[in-house]
Structure 1
């Protein structure tokens, strides 16, 4: 099978450009976040330009603080980086004449793109702005690992992956993983926010950071809403994977390491949703279960694919 080297280079360039824009947006957001306390104190009232005693005086608003302008710049370039990110996936597919989900580099690229798109959908509101810096950091870390340690040249997939089930099963799993990334970050920030209740002053670093996050209830609801989306997606991906396994290996389920870890992650997310509806568990205990589910997802992605041998080993560094 031939490869379009030109499109492959464009795909890599789009991927690196997306990373660079994400990094720029993260820096801008961190600057804005660090200056959040100053912004809250800055005067926003209209300032009289002439003698206040004169009728018909002209009033002009004060200029926005530099930190706020930088934050606005970050949100202006985020859609650009998302387009570059998605474009790198599409170009990889056109370059290889296949669906671009044949190795860990491509899987992580798809999952991180899904996380950013979910962020653009759910974090549009001004009150969610502080979350973006914490979401982009793990996205950048995953993309860095994908682009360096896990990078794979554009090439045909191994024979085991030449199936119409690949775009169905792996796409659903990767999108679900991206949604769970947003949910996991929200639960971590929720636990962080619980250390500093709204309206309570603190001189330590934890309190200073937590005060500028949305309130704990808002973070908890964000984690819950995103998990409600990711849970059925991931569940459907596991079921479709079992159907593919029956077609490829003659059995639906064989307790392969990846199958087992995926099932554990699915059970943990089911437990989280159940805990959110159970009195006495819906606060920090439920959040810890959600985080445990995301840790299981990361374990499944890195340790199972790269360390433990199984029927899914071909999905590793190929």
Structure 2
């Protein structure tokens, strides 16, 4: 029976009940009143119940019609809500977005971008995942992570990327270090230094401002947090390189200077990476938002 009843017919019944006659309901439905009357009569025959009493002045719902109309309004309201939810989901206004990062969250400007994205999308559930890069790649592959925001991230097909911003690099040294009082430190001056890094450190190979044939200083990797790494710098065991946006996390006894090469500041590029075959509508909305926010990055 449900397949033989059109949604339009049910809508017609509600309008007729609201207007009190087929003639008055006709303009609202853009339908001739005789055709409207036949449509309602066919529905009554299909249901086996009279929905309206006809009288010279129009129609009035029967007792059965009143019960039918009350249930119909509830069902159609629920249907409207379901269709609206599906429409919002299709536009990326509801759902979940997982963002993968490989560095401490508070230091980077993309947090403001994420906040701006969700401000008008209160039904979007944003989740950050901070893990090592191998896990970020695995997460993109199995779609447990929708988008990765990082520098020097190795793209793998099928994937797309968008440059978000570029940040200056600073050299963090102990306050007593011989080069600590310089506002700028040239890349060539680091050849004799020991660079300390960890899993979250700047990838030297990703510094596009430095030529591929440049001499790289010796690097010692420690499996420690950023705070522990800075404590090692403070103790004079080496220096470390940080994005300028991380300079605020420097601890007492550690200072920073801008890294340059040939007189130009060295900058680090940050990109958003996502799989082109990820069908999450929230991801599509987020990427579109980023493209508008960073059109010339």
TM tier relative to shorter chain: under 0.3
| TM-score of the two chains, using structure 1 as the length reference | 0.23
Give the structure with the larger strand fraction: 2
Please identify the structure whose Cα radius of gyration is greater: 2
Give the structure with the larger helix fraction: 1
| TM-score of the two chains, using structure 2 as the length reference | 0.24
